[in-house]
Amino acid sequence: MRRAIIFSALTVLLLLALAGCDQKEQGQAPIPGAQGRTPINLDYKINSLAEIIKKDPANLNAHIELGNAYMDTKRFSQAIAAYQEALKIDPKLTNARADMGTCQRRLGRPDLAAEAFREVIKIDPGHAYAHKNLGVILAFDMGDLEGGIKEFEKFLELAPADQNAPAIRAEIVRLKTAAAQKQ
C-alpha cells in the first residue's frame, strides 16, 4: 500500500517535471513546461513516459503525453499507437482522437483521418477544429468540395472569431467557385 502511494507520488512529480503538450484533454490536469522543447527534451520525455506506462499501463495522461511527444517529433505511427492506448482507457477523448486523425493524414491516410474526425464530431458535435480538419481532408485530400465546404461552414458557425476564420471564409469562396466550374 505504502509502495503504491509512493509510486503514485513519484509519477505525478515526474509528469510535472516533464515538458507538457500543447493541447490538453478537457478535464485532464495540464502538465506545465510546453515552451523550450528540443528533440533531446522530447526524447527524454518519451523515455520517461514509456517507463511510467510500463509500471502503470492504465495511466491515461502518460499515454496522451506520449502520443503528443511522438507527434511533436513526427513519429506519427507511434503517436497513433499511444493515442489508441489512451482511447482504450477513455474512448470519449476527443482531442486525442483528433490528434490521431492529424497523424493519419500526415501518414497519407485521409480515409482513416476522416474517420477519426467524424468520430470526434459524433462524440462532440461542437468540436470546431474537428470540423475544420475534416473540411481540409474532404476538400483537398478526397476531392469532395461540397463536403469540405459544409465542414468549413460548420467550423465558422462554431468559431466565427477564430484566427483562421478569414482564411476559411476565403477558401469557401474559392471552393464554391471550383465546384461551380466542375458542373
Q: Which of 109, 141, 156 finishes a domain?
A: 109
Is the pTM value of this prediction over 0.85? no
Mean pLDDT per 10-residue segment, the chain (183 residues): 33 30 35 46 91 96 96 97 98 97 98 98 98 97 97 98 96 95 85
Model pLDDT, residue 43: 87
- 64 and 152 housed in the same domain: no
Q: How far apart (Å, rounded) are the C-alpha atoms in residues 113 and 160?
A: 24
Q: How far apart (Å, rounded) are the C-alpha atoms in residues 100 and 77?
A: 9
Residue 101 lies in a domain: yes
Range of the domain at 89: 1-109
Grid cell, residue 103, equals 497523424
Tell me which residue has cell 473540411. 135
Model pLDDT, residue 107: 98
Give CA separation, 92 vs 9, 114, 128, in Å: 26, 17, 16
Model pLDDT, residue 182: 84
- 129 and 178 housed in the same domain: yes
- 11 and 65 housed in the same domain: yes
Q: Are 175 and 139 in contact (CB under 8 A)?
A: yes
Whether the CA torsion 107, 112, 113, 116 is positive or negative: it is negative
- 38 and 91 housed in the same domain: yes
Model pLDDT, residue 14: 29
Model pLDDT, residue 39: 58
